[in-house]
Amino acid sequence: MLNFLIFGPPGSGKGTQSVRLAEKFNLKHLSTGDMLRAEIAAGTELGKKMSAIMATGELVPDEVVIEMIAARIDSTKDSAGFLFDGFPRTVAQTEALEAMLNERGMKIDSMLVLDVDHDELVKRLILRAELSGRPDDKDPAVIENRIDVYKAKTEPIIEFCRQRGIYQPVDGVGSIDDIFGRLSNLISGYTES
C-alpha cells in the first residue's frame, strides 16, 4: 500500500486536490477533521471519548487521533493506499503515525507539499470566503494567524520528511487542473515502480 501526506498552508488547495487524487489512484482520503466528526456522529466508543474531550475545550490527544486512524486503516481493505490530509500537524504526530504504519508493515511513501506564496494564499482565502461563506476566511487577522500557526507548528514536519528523503515540493500555483497534473505525475512515479 502507498501512503502519501498532502501538505500546504491554508488556502493551498490540498482539500480540493486530495479528493481528486484519492479517486484517480484508488487511495483512501483520510481527513482527520471529517473522521472526528464521523466518529462522534456515529456514537462509537472512540467518538464518545473524543466528544467528552472536545466538550471541555481541549484538543483530542495525539494517541486518540492515531487510534482513530489505525482503526480506519485496519477496516479498509480495498484501496491502493492512503492520502493523509490535515494530519499529522506536528513532528510528534508524524513520528506516531510512522510508528503505527510500521507496525502494519507500511510506511509514509511521500510528503507532497503545495508551495503557494503568501499573497496568493490570502487572495484565495478571501475568494473562498466570498464563495463558500467560511467565516474563518473573511478576517485578514485570522488568515494571517492561520498561516503563522502553519509555519510554526506544521512546517517543521517538512524538514523531518526531507531528512527521510520523502519530501516532494509541488508548485501550487496555476489552475486546479494544472496542479492536479503535477501531483498526479508524482504519485504515478510511485504506482508504476
Choosing from 24, 49, 72, 128, the catalytic residue is 128
145 in a structural domain: yes
193 in a structural domain: no
Looking at the DSSP bridge assignments, the partners of residue 85 are 6, 31
70 in a structural domain: yes
User: Are the C-beta atoms of 112 and 6 separated by less than 8 Å?
Assistant: yes
C-alpha cell at 123: 487572495
92 in a structural domain: yes
- Which of 9-23, 100-114, 137-151 is least confident? 137-151
68 in a structural domain: yes
Q: What is the pTM of this model?
A: 0.86
38 in a structural domain: yes
Whether residue 134 has pLDDT greater than 70? no
Tell me the pLDDT band of 135, cut-offs 50, 70 and 90.
Answer: low
Choosing from 104, 134, 153, 164, the catalytic residue is 134
Active site residue 128: yes
Residue ranges making up the domain that contains 21: 2-187
Whether residue 117 has pLDDT greater than 80? yes
Active site residue 146: yes
Total Cβ atoms within 10 A of residue 89:
18
Residue 151 identity: K
148 in a structural domain: yes
Q: What pLDDT is recorded for position 193? A: 63
Region 101-118: mean pLDDT is 96
Tell me the pLDDT band of 136, cut-offs 50, 70 and 90.
Answer: low
Active site residue 20: no
Counting the structural domains of the chain, the total is 1
What are 63-82's pLDDT values in tens digits? Answer: 888 988 998 999 998 889 99
Residue 62 identity: D
How far apart (Å, rounded) are the C-alpha atoms in residues 168 and 162? 8
Whether residue 35 has pLDDT greater than 90? no
84 in a structural domain: yes
Look at strands 2-7 and 110-115 and give their pairing: parallel
Active site residue 104: no
Active site residue 162: no
How far apart (Å, rounded) are the C-alpha atoms in residues 125 and 140? 9
What percent of the chain is predicted at pLDDT more than 70? 96
CATH code at 179?
3.40.50.300
Scanning the chain, the segments in alpha helix (DSSP H) are 14-25, 32-42, 45-55, 62-74, 91-103, 118-132, 140-149, 156-163, 176-191
